[in-house]
């Protein structure tokens, strides 16, 4: 549920001191108050407190990069979950040391460990020379709303609809067809909608993308779960999860798009689209600051 609200990406949520690191000694790093999310998991350092991690001694004449990760773990059987800071020590090298490997988990698939790299500690000899913050700090909602208010809609928009009742399997691609659409609503220079469900962007732009899908669940869980994905890299741009036998999923997201970029809307779980041309659609609206 939380992943549907805050997304899958890793970032620091504006809160407290935004997890600002403070190097106390070459062996002690203080992590100030703040909040972060990773793959839908939220963890906090309470305001007015701080966490502290230990960095192992460096080696004279050698360089090293350590990773400080926020590790999510779950005890199989009991289901107890927790987050802890873990320092993963890198391998010393005379020049160009590499950051160490870490555990990349998937909470949705039931993995019991998932690391999120938050800081790098760079050592030269016995001295820590730099602490690198790896995550961006997200804007809060009031700032985002103010930014959106500055944007203006320019020109027309592209809009496409589903044109029949279809049951989509797990990870099925929803096919939006550009049919039964008033000509004045369409600007063909924005995007094209293929019969295979692939949406091809036709020009560079910042755009508001709205997706609206109604129907009923057809799998094991009574919910609708859809993704807006970038086919170029497989990355999820946004997603929506709604519980209920009959329900509606909506996505509204502002994205920087490039000419030739391909998008798709996919189902995470089996879902049957309701019949009705105008109940299910995607629209791409160009914006300008």
Record the tokens describing residue 23, joined without a space: 């190097």
Q: Are 69 and 115 in contact (CB under 8 A)?
A: yes
How high is the pLDDT of residue 28? 97
| Rg, Å, the chain Cα set | 23
Nearest to 122 by CA among 148, 155, 98, 151: 98
Q: Buried b / exposed e across 29-46, counting CB within 10 Å, b at 16+?
A: bebbbbbbbbbbbebebe
77: left (phi over 0), alpha (psi -120 to 50) or beta: left
DSSP label of 190: T
How high is the pLDDT of residue 141? 61
Q: Reduced to 3 states, what is the DSSP secondary structure of residue 161? A: strand
The DSSP result for 40-57, as a single string, is TEEEEEEEEEEEEEE---
Q: Reduced to 3 states, what is the DSSP secondary structure of residue 144? A: helix
| Phi, psi of 146, rounded to the nearest 5 degrees | -65, -40
pLDDT of the chain along its 289 residues, tens only?
A: 444 445 557 889 888 999 999 999 999 999 999 999 888 788 999 999 999 999 999 999 999 999 999 999 988 888 888 999 999 999 999 999 999 999 988 776 778 999 999 999 999 999 999 999 998 887 666 666 666 665 565 555 666 665 444 555 555 777 776 454 444 456 778 888 887 788 899 999 888 888 888 877 666 666 677 888 898 888 888 887 777 777 788 888 888 899 999 998 887 777 776 655 456 788 888 886 4
- Residues 6 or more apart from 233 whose CB is under 8 A from it? none
Calpha distance 268→134 (Å, rounded) = 29
Nearest to 258 by CA among 289, 219, 231, 226: 231
Record the tokens describing residue 283, joined without a space: 């629209």
Taking residue 218's Cβ as centre, other Cβ atoms within 10 Å add up to: 16
What is the value of pTM for the model shown? 0.55
């Amino acid at each position: 549920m939380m992943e549907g609200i805050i997304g899958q990406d890793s970032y620091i949520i504006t809160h407290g001191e935004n997890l600002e690191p403070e190097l106390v000694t070459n062996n002690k790093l203080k992590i100030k108050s703040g909040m972060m999310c990773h793959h839908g998991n939220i963890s906090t350092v309470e305001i007015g407190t701080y966490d502290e991690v230990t960095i192992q001694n460096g080696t004279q004449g050698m360089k090293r990069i350590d990773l400080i990760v926020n590790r999510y773990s779950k005890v199989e059987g009991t289901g107890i979950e927790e987050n802890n800071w873990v320092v993963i020590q890198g391998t010393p090298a005379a020049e160009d040391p590499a950051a160490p490997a870490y555990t990349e988990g998937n909470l949705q698939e039931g993995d019991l460990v998932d690391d999120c790299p938050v800081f790098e500690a760079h050592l030269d000899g016995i001295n820590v020379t730099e602490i690198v913050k790896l995550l961006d700090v997200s804007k809060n909602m009031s700032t985002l709303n103010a930014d959106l208010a500055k944007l203006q809609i320019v020109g027309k928009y592209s809009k496409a609809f589903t044109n029949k009742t279809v049951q989509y399997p797990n990870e099925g691609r929803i096919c939006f067809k550009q049919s039964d659409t008033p000509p004045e609503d369409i600007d063909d220079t924005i995007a094209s909608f293929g019969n295979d469900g692939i949406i091809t962007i036709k020009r560079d732009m910042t755009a508001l993308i709205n997706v609206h899908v109604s129907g009923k669940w057809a799998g094991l869980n009574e919910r609708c779960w859809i993704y807006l994905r970038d086919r170029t890299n497989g990355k999820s741009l946004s997603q929506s999860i709604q519980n209920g036998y009959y329900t509606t999923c909506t996505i509204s997201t502002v994205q920087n798009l490039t000419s030739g970029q391909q998008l798709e809307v996919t189902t995470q779980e089996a879902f049957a689209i309701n019949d009705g041309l105008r109940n299910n659609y995607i629209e791409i609206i160009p914006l300008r600051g």
